[in-house]
Chain A
């Protein structure tokens, strides 16, 4: 079963990280990617740019209209994700715990199962 491990980040928390913490996160993601690639569970991963540069398109008087800024005014944003194919939901949670973000207060990983997909070259 496939799960999206969604990394929720708070830009303020990220900015306040010490250099060691940043290095730990960087190498931690490297180790995590190697581990789930070798186990045959990794499908893909993406990291997103800062939400301050986002443009949001939504209806204004029934017409799609673009405005600068993220969709939700919030402190936390989606920073990126891992798409994994695993044995069970328990295993997905186990993997989420290995993502370095899970050790930093203010960051967190949401585990959500995939329901439908199309378009990817399998």
Chain B
């Protein structure tokens, strides 16, 4: 059985730089990230437990959205007419969110980014359960990072683990937790 060890959320329109300075402050690469990556990074900081910074293959990182990295794509497109910005280009793939979290925390398990047509707790849950089908994965950072604009987003995440004492991770508890 999968359970929820921790839950994290970032209010829409929150000051992400302010949150970074309060929560971490020791990772200057944060400033290079696009807004979607910043959201993923900050969610992972909130979920962090004792099991990070030591390389581990049993923790996966799974991120979901409908917009992918469209917000940064627009910023990159603006630079194309002049000098296409390499530093923006690297954020034009949504799976970089999972990469940034994995690198920061040394989570070396599966990383996957899904672009779905809408937030559906059943499907969200099902895809995460599939990630636990292998024998290696014991826990996963699983987030919904919807970046519609730099100041308009929906961002929440769960630290899910195999076993554990938390609430069972299923569509009902996901829906209930997200809508608290």
Whether chains A and B associate is no
Give chain A's interface residues, CB within 8 Å of chain B. Answer: none
Give chain B's interface residues, CB within 8 Å of chain A. Answer: none
